[in-house]
Amino acid sequence: MVKISDILWFKEIDRNALNLVGGKGLNLGLMYARSFPVPPGFVVTTEAYKRFLKETNIEEKVYSTLENLDVEDADALYNAAEKVQTLILNAKMPPSIRAQILEAYENLNVDLEVLRRASKQALDIIKAGRDKSFVAIRSSATAEDLGEFSFAGQQASFLNVKGDEDVITSVQKCWASLFTSRAVYYRVKNKFDHRNVFIAVVCQKMINSEKSGVVFTKNPSTGENEIIIEAVLGLGETIVSGSVTPDHYVVNPETMQIKVKKIEKQSFKLIRESNLGKNIKKNLGEEGSEQKLTNAEIIKLADICREIEEYYRKPQDIEFAVESGRIYIVQSRPVTTINKGKPLSTQKKEEDKIQEEIKEEKNKEVLLEGFGASPHIGFGKVKIIHGADELNKIETGDILVTEMTSPDFVPGMKRAVGIITDAGGSTSHAAIVSRELEIACVVGTEKATNILKDGDEVTVDGINGKVYAGILKLEEPKEEKFEISEDIDTVTKVKVNLDMPNMAKEASETNADGIGLLRAEFLLSRTKEHPGWMIRNGRKEQLINELVSGISEIAKYFKGKPIWYRTSDIRTDEYKDLQGGNEEPKEDNPMMGWHGIRRSLDEVEFLRAEFEAIKKVHDQGFTNVGVMLPMVISVEEVRKAKELLNEIGLEPLEEIEFGVMVETPAAVQTIDEICKEGVDFISFGSNDLTQFTLGIDRNNAKLQHLWSEMHPAVLREINHVIKVCRENNVETSICGQAGSNPEMVEFLVKK
């Protein structure tokens, strides 16, 4: 085979190849050349990437799209990044590059020297008896894993790739991932010229790990000169995800003696199922309680990793795998920081991701304390907002301060980097939306609007629930974003809650099993007019069109997966600032007032408009969109809604999935009758179910210490509903905040 620069085998890579193979490719090549046990592979070089851009005639389109881009404009950044990625993914791979990639992939299991010396006839015989390999396709940016700048985690990686077309597609996806909004933002902020940053792609044979884990050649918690090894049975994804607690071994690098062995019980492992081409979960018995690596494996692994550290002359963070008794080094990168006081698994995830270096400052002046509702840090100038009519005061980068947010605050919240409220708890509107927007939020401070003034510079600590004077650089958990390229089969399906169409694409990339809650309110608020007022003033069609536009925009990213649209649950105090909102009745307790299905059946033309919108969405081909009723307290409500849906032309349970929210004790007590009336599914609204069961206003900061979805009364209600639904073959789900609580998840899965 002729050596050309579009493809380089690991064996061909030397220290001068950085600009061709990127940081990850260089590290693997150097280790391979030093005879470290690295699985075989090759790199699709940056020259191939450059040729791809030129020969497909998209180079200037790519870079002109990014010229003069304001990366602080979130919508502009997202749209530009999506446009560039689409250009790359839709371009046809030039035949010469495609041929070289596939030739290398075909010959991955054959030694390079054998390939060079073998005759064509001999090669044909070798190929005929060999199956295609499972490979890992990983991006390798030209400034990645080199210590000074870390591009790791920004670009895509794909595991369990098999077959010619999947390999080519994955390579193009890696190239496209050079232009995610996050990567574009990072380069601009660090003054990297897009035209000078290139990307290579590593194609490496996958190890079907019987055991795997991570090694730190220096203790990252203390900096002490000792080798830390964490190991699990099966694939190493369980360490990264935190779903399994690994064995923990400590080795003295000077004497090669094992200092510490902490054996953890492992209940399951992930293994690759060759026929399915994806990972599956396998439960473990006594094997899970045994030591994962033998003493000999621990010593041998420590010795290999010590040699790697000596070669690079820097502490290393190393991934390993064991197959058929042989240890393989999958990846090695410098440990750029020595963290203190954090579990190794957490550090592992953090070091793999890109975040600004943040150092904690001392002597901070605490202005306010409340509840940390969204685990992020934000700092900027305060803007006091008393109503949605003042949202034009909010500029990008401001801190929004208000008594309490409502859905019509969302446009301003999107521009803010932090939210502070007087009232509210962890399940309030401000808390929920801030978590979705991934911005800092402190709720329930009681006096923020009195203490703070417009223009004050503050730092919002959404982790610890504190607001500090001035602009401080506080430490926050580093963002973990990665592309999921394989599914894990579980009996329990994992869906997402989604409200905003502009977040649908990113949500779909999690490989979620569907959308468990698509709230109407956020779509309705985009009109700037109160939906009730629109119906009363002859603007029903405009309302329907807005819903059709928003739902279909989301549904296109979740084709073939269930999407449960919850009909409107608009409280009378939430949309007063929209046009016509002043006509809303005043209620002493809106949380327990005129909203949900009770209001929809009173204002039946409003509900009819929603159902007509769903019918139009179905007519567009999105028949996976179902309907879910909120705040149900009686079978009669369910029956009337089904009758109306039938009138529109959609037969519940036959032509459309139909379900109800279980948010009230009344729904719990009548669940048997509701199931017999006929529903496909129910979904627990744990926030409201908890507040109505415990008699606690979830927006009352003074009562948050009493709030618990794990209260025995709530758990008994949930248990009862699940039991009845199972007897009636009705699917059960949860879409409230409790679904993020590991204790609740364990309880639900066991039930």
Which sequence positions are flagged as catalytic? 429, 735
Non-local CB neighbours of 441 within 8 Å, separated by 6+ positions: 372, 373, 374, 376, 418, 419, 420, 421, 430, 431, 434, 435, 460, 462
Angle subtended at Cα 717 by Cα 713 and Cα 718, rounded to the nearest 5 degrees: 120
Report the distance separating Cα 314 and Cα 633, nearest Å. 64
Alpha carbon distances (Å) from 572 to 138, 192, 266, 411, 576: 51, 50, 50, 20, 7
Q: Report residue 176 as tokens.
A: 């496209």
Three-class SS of residue 251?
Answer: strand
Report the distance separating Cα 163 and Cα 154, nearest Å. 25
CA-based end-to-end distance of the chain: 59
Alpha carbon distances (Å) from 698 to 373, 449, 684, 690, 691: 13, 20, 16, 9, 6
Q: How many helices (H) and strands (E) does the chain have?
A: 27, 29
Q: Are strands 681-684 and 731-734 parallel, antiparallel or unpaired?
A: parallel
The position carrying tokens 């699917």 is 731
> What is the side-by-side order of every strand in the sheet holding 466-469?
366-369, 466-469, 457-461, 377-385, 399-402, 418-421, 440-443, 371-374
Q: Report residue 7 as tokens.
A: 């493809």
* Residue 475 phi, psi dihedral angles, 5° rounding: -80, 125
Q: Report residue 648 as tokens.
A: 């529109």
Short-list 270, 71, 44, 90, CA closest to 189 = 71
8 A C-beta contact, residue 470 and residue 459: yes
